[in-house]
């Protein structure tokens, strides 16, 4: 399974998964359809699946047009998003599995950004290699999604599920927010050497107009404050020894950054 990363809109990423052997494709969170059609044309591939993480228009805006051209494509989304995702046919719950290109992904129910958000995790084919996490707007490199429909308690539980995945996991998040996130992170965790190095690397990448996604989950665990609510230095910053309150205060600070 090869992942093609398609930049769209101002800062979104659409991910096209290609099975070269079967010459079929799946797409994750198609914000718009035209760039997906272009990539499918270049590959000569048939679209067979759309994997949606949540209902926001910049994640599902291309669904209808894609299904119109590929009527056999199956549209997946969370069960709690019933009626909110265009053309949705499969309603997924936590622990369900979906398959593509001889790989099987586990579905995680990760509410917080929205009440219905899900993520897809494809374990590595060979032990020790990289897995692939498609997490929509739940986890970003250096950040996490705003809490539009969920609570801090829900988001910490959701991020805990993702934090428990192996370090050797690619984080395919849906937005290029990394540099701004890291600028904030340094205001709350300024003495973290891993974070300092990550910021310097990302700054150079963005100066070269390079994508910072996929991120590495092991690095996120060391540098992303929204995965480190139990770190003493962040609890000192937020003046709270409570994990949920620490996370909530960090999220509030980021909302006003």
CATH value at residue 39 = 3.60.15.10
| Counted domains in the chain | 1
Q: Are 212 and 222 in contact (CB under 8 A)?
A: no
* Cis amide prior to 18 (ω within 30 degrees): no
- pLDDT, tens digit, 9 for 90 and up, residues 25-75: 999 999 999 999 999 999 999 999 999 999 999 999 999 999 999 999 999
Token digits for 250?
Answer: 């960090």
Q: 127 pLDDT band (50/70/90 cuts)?
A: confident
| Pairwise CA distance, residues 51 & 98, whole Å | 9
Average pLDDT, the chain: 97
Instruction: Print the domain residue range for 88.
Output: 2-255
**DSSP H or E run through 216:** strand 215-216
Residue 110 φ/ψ, nearest 5 degrees: -130, 65
- pLDDT, tens digit, 9 for 90 and up, residues 187-224: 999 999 999 999 999 999 999 999 999 999 999 999 99
Count Cβ atoms below 10 Å from residue 4 Cβ, excluding itself: 16
Side-chain half-sphere exposure of 206, counting CA atoms within 13 A? 17
pLDDT of residue 133: 98
pLDDT of residue 128: 83
pLDDT surpasses 90 at 245:
yes
- pLDDT, tens digit, 9 for 90 and up, residues 64-117: 999 999 999 999 999 999 999 999 999 999 999 999 999 999 999 999 999 999
């Amino acid at each position: 399974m090869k992942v093609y990363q398609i930049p769209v809109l101002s800062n979104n990423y659409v991910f096209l998964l290609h099975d070269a052997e079967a010459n079929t494709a799946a797409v994750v969170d198609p914000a718009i359809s035209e760039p997906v059609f272009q990539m499918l044309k270049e590959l000569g591939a048939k679209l067979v699946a759309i994997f949606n993480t949540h209902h926001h228009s910049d994640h599902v805006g291309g669904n209808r047009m894609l299904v119109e051209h590929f009527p056999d494509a199956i549209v997946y989304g969370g069960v709690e998003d019933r009626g909110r995702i265009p053309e949705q046919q499969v309603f997924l719950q936590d622990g369900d599995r979906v398959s593509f290109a001889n790989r099987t992904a586990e579905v995680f129910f990760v509410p917080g950004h929205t009440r219905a958000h899900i993520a897809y995790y494809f374990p590595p084919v060979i032990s020790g290699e990289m897995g692939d996490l498609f997490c929509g707007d739940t986890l970003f490199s250096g950040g996490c999604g705003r809490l539009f429909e969920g609570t801090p308690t829900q988001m910490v539980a959701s991020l805990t599920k993702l934090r428990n995945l192996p370090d050797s996991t690619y984080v395919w998040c849906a937005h290029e927010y990394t540099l701004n996130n890291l600028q904030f992170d340094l205001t709350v965790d300024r003495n973290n050497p891993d974070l300092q190095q990550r910021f310097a690397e990302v700054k150079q990448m963005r100066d070269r107009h390079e994508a910072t996604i996929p991120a590495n989950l092991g690095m996120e665990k060391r540098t992303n404050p929204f995965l480190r609510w139990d770190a003493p230095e962040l609890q000192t910053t937020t003046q709270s020894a409570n994990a949920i309150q620490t996370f909530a205060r960090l999220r509030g600070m980021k909302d006003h950054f």
